Amino acid sequence: MTFLSNRINNLSESQTIKMAKLGRELSAKGIDVINLSFGEPDFFTPEYVKEAAKKSIDENYSYYTPVSGYPDLRKVITEKLLKENGLTYNFDQIVVSTGAKQSLANAVLCLINPGDEVIVPTPYWVSYSEMIKLAEGETVFINATVENDFKITAAQLEAAITPKTKLFMFSSPCNPTGSVYSKTELAALAAVFEKYPEIYIISDEIYEHINFVGEHTSIASFDAIKDRVILINGFSKSYAMTGWRVGYMASNKKLADACDKLQGQITSGTSSIAQRAALAAYQGTLDSVKEMVAEFKKRRDVVYALLSAIPGVKVNLPDGAFYFFPEVKSYFGKSSGSYTINNAEDLCLYILNEAHVSTVTGEAFGNEDCIRISYAAAEDKLRDAVSRIAGALAKLS
Ligand code: PMP
Ligand code: GLU
């Protein structure tokens, strides 16, 4: 009998978290590391949100909360979904969780039986495949490439569907590619789902506001499939609240009840104080979000120009989120000193050790030819980081 369960033995460590940890370890040794591996805004949580949290402590918001979140928070979420997304939900269709990560895991665990197929376009966010593994589902990948702005077509989707398909899971704006599906592109995918009423769709919209095209469409806005869409969102990115741990799911009532039951056995409701802060965030204006997005857009343009100028690096112009996902395979097979680069992971470790910049291997996102670079850092740091990366790559021959 093994000490640890097969469940945990088969699970991969989160590469985003691993690379951030390696970067921190080098920093602790006094090395000047620029961390571009972790996807979190480098902004502070808005003042009015922090004030609401402080007030809630004084008002003794210290008790267990309802498992799915305070009713007033759930109601404000429904108001946001109506106002910003044109989507109607009742408050009892909202489950607030300890981050969007838990909302995603809840939905996967509540929907997937062993052997059920889950279609995931690659590149995908690192934890999707592992959540599916935990639920003993089978992941069916659809490859999207840099040539197609990392987006899949309706024809690719339909070709991947089998009688075992239970779920489709994607993010738009996408982590790690920054690609944003337009309304027309989503309509084409929705038209396919309309033909297959057994398939559910997880739409991860956590980067909704970090969008440079100025328009976000949720696939839940297509009425014919809305009841089968599980919309995931949260406060980590839009309100720079990664550490507060508040995310949510909006879905049909049956799945919301199932997630409430699961959460009730595993974590209960998320932090009372974080929920009061989240409520204040949604009651405020989008001003802080807009300021942050304008800054991200400036940085995106700077980094795009710098990355595009590096020989052998192929890059798309991301429309949202705060990542670049450059194709770097032209460096595979090259070496410098004791380093030989066989794959993207070797390249990330080389860049970390040689240039002191932490990035994440594309393998973690289902694409072996790329690496992920987060640009959630100050512009001078980004310029320095890309110049260091370019220098390290130039040494490879
Ligand atoms: N989905 C995507 C696409 C993400 O990048 C992240 C990372 N923050 C999450 C979900 C999880 O977010 P949270 O911090 O709310 O758990
Ligand atoms: N979502 C962020 C990322 O992709 C944070 C890390 C994580 O939650 O895995 O880097």
Same domain, 226 and 308: no
Mean local confidence (pLDDT), 249-278: 98
Per-residue pLDDT at 380 exceeds 90: yes
In a domain, 243, yes or no: yes
Ligand nearest to the CA of residue 130, numbered in listed order: 2
Using a 6 Å cutoff on CB, does residue 23 contact ligand 2?
A: no
| Mean pLDDT calculated for residue range 156-185 | 98
**CA 59 to centroid of ligand 2, rounded, Å:** 32
Backbone phi, psi, residue 17, to 5°: -70, -40
Residues 315 and 333 reside in one and the same domain: yes
CATH code (residue 156): 3.40.640.10
Ligand 1 atom with the smallest distance to the CA of 247 is: 15
Q: Is 248 within a domain?
A: yes
- Kindly report the protein residue whose alpha carbon is nearest to atom 5 of ligand 2: 39
| CA-nearest residue, atom 10 of ligand 2 | 39
**What pLDDT shows up at residue 38?**
87
What is the reported pLDDT for 147? 86
Q: How far apart are the first and last CA of the chain?
A: 48
* pLDDT interval class at 144 (50, 70, 90): very high
Instruction: Give the residue, out of 12, 126, 361, with the most ligand 2 atoms within 8 A of its beta carbon, to mutate for a pocket test.
Output: 126
pLDDT (tens digit per residue) in 89-121: 999 999 999 999 999 999 999 999 999 999 999
**Close Cβ partners of 319 (under 8 Å, ≥ 6 residues apart):** 173, 178, 179, 180, 211, 212, 213
Domain co-membership, 215 together with 71: yes
Contacts of 308-317 spanning 24+ positions with Cβ under 8 A:
309/390, 310/386, 310/389, 310/390, 310/393, 311/393, 312/393, 313/393, 314/146, 315/146, 316/146, 316/149, 316/150, 316/177, 316/178, 316/179
For 198-244, the pLDDT digits (tens) are: 999 999 999 999 999 989 999 999 999 999 999 999 999 999 999 99
Asked whether residue 169 falls in the same domain as residue 183, the answer is yes
For residue 289, the model assigns a pLDDT of: 92
State the pLDDT confidence band at 336, using cuts at 50, 70 and 90.
very high
- Of the three residues 245, 265, 283, the one that is the final residue of a domain is 283
pLDDT category at 20 given cuts 50, 70, 90 is confident
**123 and 261 housed in the same domain:** yes
Strand partners, 168: 119, 201
Q: Which of 14, 16, 125 to mutate to test the pocket of ligand 2 (most atoms within 8 A of CB)?
A: 16
Q: Say what the pLDDT of residue 198 is.
A: 97
Position 8 scores a pLDDT of 95
User: Which atom of ligand 2 lies nearest, measured to the CA of 236?
Assistant: 1
Distance CA 362, CA 369 (A): 7
- Full domain range(s) for residue 224: 47-283
For ligand 1, is residue 247 a contact (CB within 6 Å)?
yes
For residue 39, report the distance from its CA to the centre of ligand 2, in Å. 5
* Position 377 in a domain: yes
Number of domains in the chain: 2
Judgement on whether residues 40 and 57 belong to the same structural domain of the protein: no
Mutate to test the pocket of ligand 2, among 40, 98, 235 (most ligand atoms within 8 A of CB): 40
Name the domain boundary from 232, 266, 283.
Answer: 283
250 within some domain: yes
Which ligand places an atom closest to the C-alpha of 97? 1
CATH number of residue 389's parent domain:
3.90.1150.10
Kindly state whether residue 87 falls inside one of the protein's structural domains: yes
| Protein residue with least CA distance to atom 1, ligand 2 | 39
| 1 in any annotated domain | no
pLDDT of residue 143: 95
In a domain, 338, yes or no: yes
**198 and 299 co-located in one domain:** no
Residue 39 has pLDDT above 90, yes or no: no
Binned at pLDDT 50, 70 and 90, residue 1 comes out as confident
Q: What is the pLDDT of residue 146?
A: 86
How many angstroms separate the alpha carbon of residue 150 from the centre of ligand 2? 19
For 295-310, the pLDDT digits (tens) are 999 999 999 999 999 9
Question: Which numbered atom of ligand 2 lies nearest the CA of 125?
Answer: 4
Ligand 2 pocket: which of 11, 17, 245 to mutate (most atoms within 8 A of CB): 17
| Average of per-residue pLDDT across 123-151 | 95
Same-domain check for residues 61 and 35: no
Are residues 196 and 75 located together in one domain of the fold?
yes
Residue 173 sits in the same domain as residue 205? yes
| Contact status, residue 370 vs residue 308, Cβ threshold 8 Å | no
Q: Is the CB of 101 under 6 A from ligand 1?
A: yes
Any idea which ligand is nearest the CA of 373? 2
On whether both 118 and 251 belong to a single domain, the answer is yes
Domain boundary among 283, 312, 345: 283
Residue 132 has pLDDT above 90, yes or no: yes
- How far CA 179 is from CA of 68, 203, 208, 284, 352, in Å, comes to 31, 14, 11, 28, 26
The residue whose CA is least distant from atom 9 of ligand 2 is 16
Q: What percent of the chain has pLDDT over 70?
A: 100
CA of 371 to the centre of ligand 2 (A): 14
Instruction: Tell me whether residue 385 is in a domain.
Output: yes
Q: Do 106 and 247 fall into the same domain?
A: yes
